[in-house]
Structure 1
Amino acid sequence: MKKNLLIFFVLFLVTRITTAQQTISKLDSIEIELNKIKQRNDLLRIKDSIRTQLLKNELNSIVNPQGNELEWYKTELLKIKQEDSVHLSNQKAEIEKLRENAKPYPVKLFNDTIFNVYSGLGPFSAKERALSAQNEIQELYAKKLYFKDSLQLMTTQNYINIVYQGTIITSISQEDALWENVTPDSLAANYLQTIKASIDKNRISHTFENILIRWAMAIGIVLVFLALIYFLRKLTRFGIRKIISWMNRDFEGVKIKNYQFISPYRIKVWMIKTLRWVYIVLFFLLTGISISLIFSIFPVTEHWAYMFLHGIWKPLKELGISIYNYWPKLLHIIIVLMVGRYADKLLHFFSNEIERGMLKIKGFHPEWAKPTYHLIRICLIAFVIIMIFPYLPGSDTTAFKGVSVFLGILISLGSSSAIANTIAGFIITYMRPFQIGDWIKVNDEVGEVIEKTSLVTRLRTINNEDITIPNSMILSNKTINYSSSSAKTCLIIPIDININFDVPIEKVNELLIKAALETQHVVAYPKPYVFKNKILDTYISYQLNAFTKTPQRMYFITSDLNENILKVFKEEGIDLLSPKFYAKPKS
Structure 2
Amino acid sequence: MACLPRAGGVRGVRAGRFALLLVLLAALSGLACGQVPAAVAAVAATPASAPPQDEATVRIYSRKIATFRAPFLGIQPPGRASRAQEAIEDLLEAGGPGVVTVRKEPQGNVVLVDGAFALILTPEDVDPLRPDKLDATTQATVAALSRAINETHEARDQGRLLRAVGFSLIATALFAFLAWAVVRLRGALSARIGDLLAQAAQRARGAGQPLWEATRPHAIGQWLVRAASWVLLVALAYEWLVFVLQQFPATRVWGEQLGLLVLRLLEQLGGNMLRALPDLLVAAIIFLLARALVAAVRPIFDRAEKGQSGPTWLDHDLAAPTRRLVSVGIWIFAVVMAYPYLPGSQSEAFKGMSVLIGLMITLGGSSLIGQAFSGVILLYGRVLRVGEYIRVGGNEGTVLSLALFTTRIRTGMGEEVTLPNSVILANVTVNYSRTVQGAGFIVDTSVTIGYDTPWRQVHAILLEAAGRTEGICAEPAARVFQTALSDFYVEYRLVCQATPQRPLARAELMHLLNANVLDVFNEHGVQIMSPHYFSDPAGAKVVPPGDPYAAPSRRPPASSASAESVPTHAAAAARPPTSP
Which segments of 5 or more consecutive residues in structure 1 lack a partner in the other structure? 1-51, 54-90
Tell me how far apart the structure 1 counterparts of residues 140 and 433 of structure 2 sit (CA, whole Å).
Answer: 100
CA deviations over 1:418-445 (Å, ceiling 9, x no partner) = 2233122122223333334433233565
Deviation at 1:487, TM superposition (A): 4.9
Q: How does 1:71-150 map to 2 (within 5 A)?
A: 103-122=54-73, 124-143=75-94, 146=96
Deviation at 1:208, TM superposition (A): 2.4
Tell me how far apart the structure 2 counterparts of residues 394 and 464 of structure 1 sit (CA, whole Å).
Answer: 53
Tell me how far apart the structure 1 counterparts of residues 100 and 308 of structure 2 sit (CA, whole Å).
Answer: 102
Other-structure match for 2:537: 584
- Residues 567 and 205 of structure 1: CA distance in aligned 2, closer, same or farther (over 3 Å): same
Whether the 8 Å CA contact 2:286–2:338 is kept in 1: the answer is yes
Tell me how far apart the structure 1 counterparts of residues 123 and 480 of structure 2 sit (CA, whole Å).
Answer: 121
Deviation at 1:126, TM superposition (A): 1.6
Whether the 8 Å CA contact 2:318–2:379 is kept in 1: the answer is yes
Partner amino acid, structure 1, of 2:378: I
Whether the 8 Å CA contact 1:486–1:550 is kept in 2: the answer is no
Deviation at 1:319, TM superposition (A): 0.5
- Residues 294 and 119 of structure 1: CA distance in aligned 2, closer, same or farther (over 3 Å): same
Q: How does 1:475-486 map to 2 (within 5 A)?
A: 475=425, 477-486=427-436
Matched, 1:287 2:237: yes
Other-structure match for 1:549: 498
Other-structure match for 2:327: 377
Partner amino acid, structure 2, of 1:279: S
Q: How does 1:501-580 map to 2 (within 5 A)?
A: 510-530=460-480, 541=490, 543=492, 545-550=494-499, 552-553=506-507, 555-556=510-511, 559-560=514-515, 562-570=517-525, 578=530, 580=532
Whether the 8 Å CA contact 1:253–1:262 is kept in 2: the answer is no
Deviation at 1:103, TM superposition (A): 4.8
Look up the SS of the partner of 1:301 in the other structure: helix
Tell me how far apart the structure 2 counterparts of residues 438 and 251 of structure 1 sit (CA, whole Å).
Answer: 43
Tell me how far apart the structure 2 counterparts of residues 538 and 108 of structure 1 sit (CA, whole Å).
Answer: 109
Deviation at 1:382, TM superposition (A): 0.6
Tell me how far apart the structure 2 counterparts of residues 287 and 234 of structure 1 sit (CA, whole Å).
Answer: 17
- Residues 561 and 299 of structure 1: CA distance in aligned 2, closer, same or farther (over 3 Å): same
Whether the 8 Å CA contact 2:441–2:497 is kept in 1: the answer is yes
Partner amino acid, structure 2, of 1:222: T
Tell me how far apart the structure 2 counterparts of residues 187 and 379 of structure 1 sit (CA, whole Å).
Answer: 59
- Residues 273 and 197 of structure 1: CA distance in aligned 2, closer, same or farther (over 3 Å): closer
Tell me how far apart the structure 2 counterparts of residues 211 and 357 of structure 1 sit (CA, whole Å).
Answer: 88
CA deviations over 1:420-478 (Å, ceiling 9, x no partner) = 33122122223333334433233565444355332233455567776654423433554
Look up the SS of the partner of 2:280 in the other structure: helix
Other-structure match for 1:299: 249
Equivalent position to 1:449, from 378, 393, 399:
399
- Residues 560 and 339 of structure 1: CA distance in aligned 2, closer, same or farther (over 3 Å): same
Tell me how far apart the structure 2 counterparts of residues 190 and 381 of structure 1 sit (CA, whole Å).
Answer: 55
- Residues 449 and 124 of structure 1: CA distance in aligned 2, closer, same or farther (over 3 Å): same
Tell me how far apart the structure 1 counterparts of residues 379 and 323 of structure 2 sit (CA, whole Å).
Answer: 12
Tell me how far apart the structure 1 counterparts of residues 230 and 291 of structure 2 sit (CA, whole Å).
Answer: 37
CA deviations over 1:22-71 (Å, ceiling 9, x no partner) = xxxxxxxxxxxxxxxxxxxxxxxxxxxxxx99xxxxxxxxxxxxxxxxxx
Tell me how far apart the structure 2 counterparts of residues 292 and 420 of structure 1 sit (CA, whole Å).
Answer: 58
Which segments of 5 or more consecutive residues in structure 2 lack a partner in the other structure? 1-33, 36-47, 501-505, 541-580
Whether the 8 Å CA contact 1:253–1:263 is kept in 2: the answer is no
Other-structure match for 1:214: 164
- Residues 559 and 120 of structure 1: CA distance in aligned 2, closer, same or farther (over 3 Å): same
Other-structure match for 1:87: none
Tell me how far apart the structure 2 counterparts of residues 248 and 509 of structure 1 sit (CA, whole Å).
Answer: 71
Whether the 8 Å CA contact 2:321–2:403 is kept in 1: the answer is no
Look up the SS of the partner of 2:444 in the other structure: strand
Tell me how far apart the structure 2 counterparts of residues 520 and 339 of structure 1 sit (CA, whole Å).
Answer: 57
Other-structure match for 1:431: 381
Partner amino acid, structure 2, of 1:548: Q
Tell me how far apart the structure 1 counterparts of residues 81 and 487 of structure 2 sit (CA, whole Å).
Answer: 120
Deviation at 1:301, TM superposition (A): 0.9
Equivalent position to 1:315, from 265, 270, 279:
265
Other-structure match for 1:56: none
TM-score (normalised: structure 2): 0.66
Deviation at 1:303, TM superposition (A): 0.3
Tell me how far apart the structure 2 counterparts of residues 456 and 360 of structure 1 sit (CA, whole Å).
Answer: 27
Other-structure match for 2:175: 225
- Residues 548 and 561 of structure 1: CA distance in aligned 2, closer, same or farther (over 3 Å): farther
Partner amino acid, structure 2, of 1:556: H
Partner amino acid, structure 2, of 1:457: T
Whether the 8 Å CA contact 2:407–2:420 is kept in 1: the answer is yes
Partner amino acid, structure 2, of 1:517: G
Tell me how far apart the structure 2 counterparts of residues 425 and 124 of structure 1 sit (CA, whole Å).
Answer: 78
Tell me how far apart the structure 2 counterparts of residues 127 and 514 of structure 1 sit (CA, whole Å).
Answer: 113
CA deviations over 1:132-162 (Å, ceiling 9, x no partner) = 2212221221225x4769999798x989987
Other-structure match for 1:21: none
Pairs aligned (count): 482
Tell me how far apart the structure 2 counterparts of residues 153 and 530 of structure 1 sit (CA, whole Å).
Answer: 122
- Residues 561 and 394 of structure 1: CA distance in aligned 2, closer, same or farther (over 3 Å): same
Partner amino acid, structure 2, of 1:547: C
Tell me how far apart the structure 2 counterparts of residues 470 and 360 of structure 1 sit (CA, whole Å).
Answer: 30
Partner amino acid, structure 2, of 1:294: V
- Residues 500 and 575 of structure 1: CA distance in aligned 2, closer, same or farther (over 3 Å): farther
Partner amino acid, structure 1, of 2:241: I
Superposition RMSD in Å:
4.8
Which one has more relative contact order, counting CA pairs under 8 Å at least 6 apart? 2
